[in-house]
Amino acid sequence: MAEVQVKFDAPANVGGQLLENAKPAAANVEDITSSVASQATTAESPNEYAYVAITSSGGAVWAKIAAVPVAAAGDQHLIADGQTRFFGGLAAGDKVAVIDV
């Protein structure tokens, strides 16, 4: 079981560099607890320009990104304990589901 933070946001353009936004909209940040069953966010990608940052603490998880995601072992993205991974190429309305490794 891990605590997983999922943050959907658009990058900030600072001097031509894209940086993680320091103040994402609260509605686009969600903390969920993983388990042996798939757990999905209610937070979602606001548009196709957004990225998602997924951080796992307390264990590794598999993460699935889709409009109606169902996470499964070995399917899509492995997030190690203590790791944050960033993903782009989202569609508006995409959500994240996680499941324990």
Per the CB < 8 A criterion, the answer to whether 86 and 53 are in contact is yes
Pairing between strand 51-57 and 61-66?
unpaired
Encode pLDDT of 39-97 as tens digits: 999 999 998 888 999 999 999 999 999 999 999 999 999 999 999 999 999 999 999 99
Give the pTM: 0.90
pLDDT at 74: 94
Q: Which two tokens stand for residue 14?
A: 């600072």
Pairing between strand 61-66 and 3-9?
unpaired
Higher pLDDT, 26 or 98: 98
Q: Is the pLDDT reported for residue 19 higher than 80?
A: no
Q: What is the DSSP string of 8-35?
A: EEPPEEETTEEE--SS--GGGEEEEE--
Q: 52: helix, coil or strand? A: strand
